[in-house]
């Protein structure tokens, strides 16, 4: 069912129920009040007649027929009839009849001084007795000096009862029609207003479903619709973000596939060329060992590429477990220096270590070595006839390391991407014997992050580069996380 109809129905139900409850209680009250009034009136008559009768005859209680007739005449204009019984339970008025008596049980009650209210409601008594109008009477005993002298039964139509009920009903009908009209108009306005807001929301939802995220719903902060709009806006922002993230991931994945294919094609082409040469025997015998050595180098390169990729994926997906411990970093750096001596000599570089004898660091020993090897290898690789300085020092809550070279450096634009996989600032640079895959810094970044540390680079073209990273002490990482 449409919201509009639901609102209308609800309003209708509320109006009808309240008018019905009101109507029933008002009519009931009017009816009861009319009866009560009538009883009081009749009792007033009965007592007045009694008093008059008694006063007239002072001590003896003989009700005067003339007096009563006069009374009857006065009251008949008021639609009142009466019958009078003496203390023997015999009717003495309008006509004296000894056979007309009140039921003895009723008379006994009268003797005890109880008056009786008789309600001859035509709704309750059947059609035969119905006077079409409600009829009430009261039976009142008369006492003189504590003795029952007689009783009067005085009755009348309930004055104006029907008339007042009819007018009540009319009033109620008018009230009903009026409230229905007001209710209808109100519900129409409210539901049209709500409908409009719902429509706006549903249109916005459709747009979002169609991929349009440039949508913002108005939020005045007033009611549940505004709350819905606020949540909707939040949802759109979140959706937009995740959509962007998905697109970025897809782009990275495509880039990765392209780069990986490109990286593998070179060694595979070389190997294939040599194999074809061997197949058709076009390689002179004395060149064969060299060719086979080249093929081996290229195969190793491929293996390294695959391994590094796997390693990178593992680090990135938190699949490697770091075994952290406190050790002397200077020891590792000194060993590194010895290992790298040859490469430094090849490039005619000076390799310098600047660190205290004791430099505690809390890290995974092998992974820390891997980080340093990658950075120093890069520094040597991109520095000819210069100096590469490895330094380490204690800082607050951790140990800071840096690898500084005086090599070719990088532009700011290049610095943005060097931590991405397969990125090489200048692919045309001569490859060294091992060949580069562009994975080194991506692995370094992941490892430093895994250690809860940070890495940054400062570099200027033709002046050199400095890579600096910090590794925090045991417990500090958790402390920072807990206080974030």
Where do contacts with Mg ion occur on this chain (CB under 5 A)?
378, 440
* CA triple 267-273-276, angle to 5 deg: 140
Whichever of 329 and 379 has its CB closer to ligand ATP, that residue is 379
Question: Among 140, 410, 447, 448, which residue interacts with ligand ATP (rule: CB under 6 A)?
Answer: 410
Q: How far apart are CA 240 and CA 214, in angstroms?
A: 9
Q: How far apart are CA 375 and CA 419, in angstroms?
A: 12
Name the nearest CA neighbour of 407 among 336, 347, 346.
347
Helix (H) or strand (E) holding 174: helix 161-209
Kindly state whether residue 438 participates in binding ligand ATP, applying the rule CB under 6 A. yes
Kindly state whether residue 402 participates in binding ligand ATP, applying the rule CB under 6 A. no
**What is the DSSP code (8-state) at residue 285?**
G
Residues 441-470 that bind ligand ATP (CB under 6 A): 441-442, 465
Question: Among 405, 447, 453, 470, which residue interacts with ligand ATP (rule: CB under 6 A)?
Answer: 405
Kindly state whether residue 440 participates in binding ligand ATP, applying the rule CB under 6 A. yes
Which residues are bridge partners to 141 per DSSP?
Answer: 151
Kindly state whether residue 136 participates in binding ligand ATP, applying the rule CB under 6 A. no
Q: How far apart are CA 361 and CA 368, in angstroms?
A: 10
Rounded least distance, CB 478 to ligand ATP, Å:
30
Q: 308 CB contacts (<8 Å, ≥6 apart)?
A: 437, 439, 443
Whichever of 333 and 410 has its CB closer to ligand ATP, that residue is 410
User: What does 439 interact with, of ligand ATP, Mg ion, none (CB < 5 to 8 A by kind)?
Assistant: ligand ATP
User: What does 407 interact with, of ligand ATP, Mg ion, none (CB < 5 to 8 A by kind)?
Assistant: ligand ATP
Phi first, then psi, for residue 134 (nearest 5°) are -65, 140
Q: How far apart are CA 434 and CA 298, in angstroms?
A: 9
Whichever of 54 and 445 has its CB closer to ligand ATP, that residue is 445
Whichever of 378 and 383 has its CB closer to Mg ion, that residue is 378
Q: How far is CA 416 from the centre of its chain?
A: 40
Say if residues 454 and 388 touch (Cβ distance below 8 Å).
no
Rounded least distance, CB 440 to ligand ATP, Å:
2
Kindly state whether residue 364 participates in binding ligand ATP, applying the rule CB under 6 A. no
Question: Among 418, 448, 455, 471, which residue interacts with ligand ATP (rule: CB under 6 A)?
Answer: 418
User: What does 438 interact with, of Mg ion, ligand ATP, none (CB < 5 to 8 A by kind)?
Assistant: ligand ATP
Rounded least distance, CB 350 to ligand ATP, Å:
15
Rounded least distance, CB 254 to Mg ion, Å:
23
| CA R_g for the chain | 56
Rounded least distance, CB 465 to Mg ion, Å:
12
Whichever of 440 and 452 has its CB closer to Mg ion, that residue is 440
3-class secondary structure per residue, 334-358 = HHHHHHHHHHHHHCCCEEEEECCCC
């Amino acid at each position: 069912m449409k919201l509009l109809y639901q609102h209308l129905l609800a309003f209708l139900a509320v109006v009808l129920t309240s008018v019905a409850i009101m109507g029933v209680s008002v009519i009931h009250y009017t009816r009861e009040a009319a009866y009560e009034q009538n009883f009081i009136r009749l009792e007033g008559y009965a007592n007045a007649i009694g008093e008059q009768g008694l006063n007239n005859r002072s001590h003896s209680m003989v009700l005067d027929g003339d007096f009563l007739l006069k009374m009857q005449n006065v009251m008949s204009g008021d639609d009142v009839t009466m019958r009078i019984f003496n203390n023997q339970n015999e009717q003495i008025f309008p006509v004296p009849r000894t056979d007309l008596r009140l039921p003895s049980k009723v008379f006994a009650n009268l003797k005890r001084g109880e008056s009786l209210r008789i309600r001859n409601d035509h709704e309750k008594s059947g059609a035969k007795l119905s006077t079409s109008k409600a009829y009430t009477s009261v039976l009142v005993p008369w006492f003189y000096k504590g003795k029952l002298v007689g009783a009067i039964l005085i009755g009348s139509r309930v004055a104006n009862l029907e008339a007042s009920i009819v007018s009540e009903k009319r009033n109620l009908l008018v009230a009903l029609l009026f409230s229905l009209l007001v209710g209808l108009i109100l519900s129409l306005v409210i539901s049209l207003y709500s409908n409009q807001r719902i429509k706006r929301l549903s249109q916005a939802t459709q747009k979002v479903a169609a991929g349009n995220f440039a949508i913002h719903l108005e939020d005045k902060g007033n009611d549940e619709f505004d709350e819905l709009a606020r949540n909707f806006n939040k949802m759109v922002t979140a959706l937009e973000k995740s959509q962007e993230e998905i697109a970025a991931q897809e782009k990275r994945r495509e880039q990765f596939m392209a780069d990986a294919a490109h990286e593998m094609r070179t060694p595979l082409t070389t190997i294939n060329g040599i194999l074809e040469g061997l197949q058709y025997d076009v390689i002179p015998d004395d060149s064969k060992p060299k060719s086979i050595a080249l093929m081996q180098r290229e195969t190793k390169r491929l293996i390294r590429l695959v391994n590094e990729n796997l390693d990178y994926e593992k680090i990135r997906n938190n699949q490697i477990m770091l075994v952290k411990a406190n050790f002397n970093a200077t020891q590792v750096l000194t060993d590194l220096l010895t290992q790298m001596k040859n490469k430094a000599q090849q490039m005619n570089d000076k390799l310098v270590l600047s660190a205290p004898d004791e430099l505690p660091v809390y890290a995974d020993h092998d992974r820390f070595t891997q980080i340093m090897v990658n950075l120093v290898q890069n520094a040597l690789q991109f520095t000819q006839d210069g100096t590469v300085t490895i330094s380490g020092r204690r800082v607050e809550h951790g140990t800071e390391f840096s690898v500084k070279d005086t090599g070719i450096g990088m532009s700011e634009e290049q610095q943005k991407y060097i931590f991405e996989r397969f990125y090489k600032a200048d692919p045309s640079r001569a490859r060294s014997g091992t060949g580069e895959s562009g994975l080194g810094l991506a692995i370094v970044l992941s490892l430093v992050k895994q250690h809860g540390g940070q890495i940054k680079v400062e570099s200027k073209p033709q002046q050199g580069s400095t890579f600096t990273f910090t590794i925090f002490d045991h417990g500090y990482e958790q402390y920072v996380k807990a206080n974030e």
